Structure 1
Amino acid sequence: MNAVAKIEVMDWSKRSAHQWLEQYGIWVRSAKSVVSANPLAMLIDKNDTTRIRASKVSMPCEISDAEAVQVSQLLAKMHSDKREYLAERAWFLILKFENNWSDQTIANTHGCSRARVRAEAEKGLAYLDGKIEALND
C-alpha cells in the first residue's frame, strides 16, 4: 500500500509577521532540556507546559511545531537572500525574536545605533508581512 502524507496547510492570515515571529521565538525558547542543575526549574518546566520562564511576563506558546517550522523556513529564506540588506534584516529579526536580544544588545554587538536596529527590524517585518500576504493568496 502507498501511504499518503498528510500535508498541513498553513493559515498565514491568523497573525501578522510580528506575531508569527514572537510566537516562533517563544516556541524556540520553550524547548525543554532533559538535564538541568536546578531541580526547581525542572519541576516548573515539567508542570507548566503552556508557558515559558524566558521573560518577565510569560506568554503562552500558541503555535504548533508544523507552524514553527514554516516560520523558520520563511525566516531562513529571507536570511539566505542574495540581497545583503535583506539578509541583515533577517539576522536582526533572528537575534530579536529567536534569541530574545534587546535592540540595544544587537546595536552594541553590530556597532550601530539602537534606532538603526529598530528601523531595519521594522523594514524586515514589513517585508515578511508582504511575503505572508502573498502566501495567503
Structure 2
Amino acid sequence: MNAVVKKQIMDWSKRSAHQWLEQYGLWVRSVKFNVTANPLAILIDQNDKSRVRASRVSMVCEINDFEAVQVSKLLASMHNDSREYLASRAWYLILYYENEWSYLSIAIAHKCSKATIRAEIDKGLAYLDGKIDMLQS
C-alpha cells in the first residue's frame, strides 16, 4: 500500500524567537500541552477574577508537538555549532527558557555577571531571529 504522508510546514512568522522559546519552554515543562504549565495557576485564575496575573506560570502553551520539535531542532543546531560563542549562547537560552533559570542563577553557575548573561541571551535571540527570517524565505 502507498501511504500518503502529509508533510507539515512550520510557520515561523507566527512568533518571534523570544515567543517561540517561551512557548517551547512551556511545552517542555507541561504534561498536558494545551493547558498552563502549572495546575495551581489554573485554580488561582479560576477563583480570583479580580486580578490579572502576567507571570510565566499562567501562560498557556499554544504550540503543538510539531512546532516544539522544530524549535528544539533550531536550538540544537545552534548548540552544536562549531563556533563556541553560539554554542554557549544556545546553552544560556536553554537554561533560561527551558529550565527557567534566572539571569542571576546562570551568572553564578558560569562565574560571570548578570549583565553579561542578559547580553548573551539577547544576542542569542537576535541570532535565532535571523535564522527564523531565513527559514521563512
TM (norm. structure 2) is 0.84
Q: Structure 2, unaligned stretches of length 5 or more?
A: 42-54
Deviation at 1:87, TM superposition (A): 0.1
1:51 aligned to 36, 48, 65, which one?
A: 36
1:95 and 2:95 are equivalent in the alignment: yes
Q: Structure 1, unaligned stretches of length 5 or more?
A: 33-48
1:60 and 2:60 are equivalent in the alignment: yes
Deviating above 3 A after TM superposition, structure 1's stretches of 4 or more consecutive aligned residues are 54-57
Instruction: Tell me which residue corresponds to 2:14.
Output: 14
Worse-matched range after superposition: 1-10 or 14-23: 1-10
Deviation at 1:31, TM superposition (A): 2.7
Deviation at 1:108, TM superposition (A): 0.4
* Whole-Å separation in 2 of the counterparts to 1:58 and 1:108: 27
The number of residue pairs the alignment matches comes to 122
Instruction: Tell me which residue corresponds to 2:121.
Output: 121
* Whole-Å separation in 2 of the counterparts to 1:20 and 1:27: 10
Instruction: Tell me which residue corresponds to 1:27.
Output: 27
* Whole-Å separation in 2 of the counterparts to 1:17 and 1:90: 12
* Whole-Å separation in 2 of the counterparts to 1:68 and 1:29: 12
Deviation at 1:7, TM superposition (A): 1.2
CA offsets 1:8-46 (integer angstroms, 9 cap, x no match): 1000000000000000000000036xxxxxxxxxxxxxx
Instruction: Tell me which residue corresponds to 2:110.
Output: 110
Instruction: Tell me which residue corresponds to 1:38.
Output: none
Report percent identity of matched pairs: 66
1:130 and 2:118 are equivalent in the alignment: no
Corresponding letter in the other structure for 2:98: E
